[in-house]
Amino acid sequence: MKNLFKSKPKSSVEIVRQTRSLLLLLNGSGDFRASKRDEKMDELNKHIRELKLILYGSSDSEPVAEACAQLTQEFFKENTMHLLIVSLPKLGLEARRDATQVVANLQRQQVQSRMIASAYLEANLNLIDILISGYEDPDLALHYGGMLRECIRHQSIARYVLESGHIKKFFNYIQLPNFDIAADAMATFKELLIRHKSTVAGFLSKNYDWFFQDFNSKLLESDSYITKRQAVKLLGEILLDRSNSAVMVRYVSSKDNLRILMNLLRESSKNIQMDAFHVFKLFAANQNKPPEIVSILIANRSKLLRFLAEFKMDREDEQFEEDKTQVVKEIAELKQASSP
């Protein structure tokens, strides 16, 4: 690695410009003759690796803030970001990995205290469309998924994904047969629904009906153990977030939602049971339970109390025991209230 900078080092701006020129050649905007293709591809791979080294540093040196700022400014100046993303299918595996790290890092770089990546993406939202559709290509999914998660660190970009309808695609991506891709899609889905609290609260309020209908039927009631487990855990995180309090009240006022959670409590998996309990306790704790919720809880009171009596964690957890005691109390009080 030391030999990389042995001769007079190029500036970060020069490396970006040379990378851009090679990407243009690769995409047919210049003379990329077959006889020179391998040579040019090697050169391109080297430049992408150099960009990564400037941004991340190496075992011998830390990143230099000024060089990173210059690189970032030049990178977004003349569409190098777009060229690198659309060129990814034509790159080799190592170059794809380096490119993914470059794009990811640039989302966090500031130039004069400004996150210029955010403004660039807002003006080039078609790039987000490309990254999302990458989940449909097994060779690109993990690279584009990694880039996408960094891009949605910007609130405006996360809002675009949520409000453009792209979010609906994730219900299918999460269930793809390739485990690694499905897990990556779930990681992005979770990031979209957890990171930007005010944006998420607004989205869920406006799109409550279709979103939770799909969430319930495609994820919570999935035949896949992994999908079901990840979904019920995410549901708990969403509903327990204070920003989503109005959405939580609406969710725990539905008898259909209650039935789904009670079925999850009966799962053979202790992990699913535990995560389902953290959502179920919200139904029990609701002080304004609709009559149909009360009726279901009373009708299943004996089974629920027996289940809770036997339900234990593998290790001591005071908070869990307190929550369980409170749920038992709520259900017991419903019994008393229903007595003549």
Report the distance separating Cα 58 and Cα 158, nearest Å. 31
Q: Is the pLDDT of residue 339 over 50?
A: no
Give 33's pLDDT tier (boundaries 50, 70, 90): low
DSSP 3-state of 114:
strand
Q: Which residue has the tokens 């509903």?
A: 239
Counting other chains too, the contacts that 74-81 makes at CB distance below 8 Å and 24 or more residues apart are: 74/12, 74/13, 74/16, 74/17, 75/16, 75/51, 75/106, 76/106, 76/116, 76/117, 76/120, 78/20, 79/20, 79/124, 80/16, 80/19, 80/20, 80/23, 81/106, 81/117, 81/120, 81/124, 81/127
Q: What is the pLDDT of residue 340?
A: 44
14: CB partners within 8 A, 6+ apart = none
**End-to-end CA gap in the chain:** 82
Which amino acid does the sequence have at 271?
A: N
Report the distance separating Cα 131 and Cα 144, nearest Å. 5
Question: Domains (ranges, CATH) in the chain?
Answer: 196-339 (1.25.10.10)
Q: What are the C-alpha distances in Å from 226 to residues 126, 269, 276?
A: 32, 11, 14
Question: Could you tell me if 235 and 274 are in contact, meaning their C-beta atoms sit under 8 angstroms apart?
Answer: no
Highest-scoring range by mean pLDDT, 35-39, 108-112, 226-230: 226-230
Residues 55-90: pLDDT tens digits?
998 878 898 999 999 999 999 988 899 999 999 999
Report the distance separating Cα 152 and Cα 148, nearest Å. 6
Question: What's the mean pLDDT in 52-56?
Answer: 94
Give 2's pLDDT tier (boundaries 50, 70, 90): low
Residues 142-154: pLDDT tens digits?
999 999 999 999 9
Q: At 265, list the tokens.
A: 């409590």
Residues 83-133: pLDDT tens digits?
999 999 999 999 999 999 999 999 999 888 899 999 999 999 999 999 999
Q: What is the pLDDT of residue 184?
A: 97
Give 30's pLDDT tier (boundaries 50, 70, 90): low
Question: Which burial class, exposed, middle or buried, applies to 56 when counting CB atoms under 10 A from its CB (0-12, 13-18, 19+)?
Answer: middle
Q: What is the pLDDT of residue 336?
A: 46
Q: 199-216 burial, b for 16+ CB within 10 Å, e for fewer?
A: bbbebbeebeeebbebbb
pTM of the model: 0.90
* The Cα angle at residue 238 between residues 132 and 212, in degrees rounded to 5: 70
Residues 178-212: pLDDT tens digits?
999 999 999 999 999 999 999 999 999 999 999 99
Q: At 63, list the tokens.
A: 């990143």
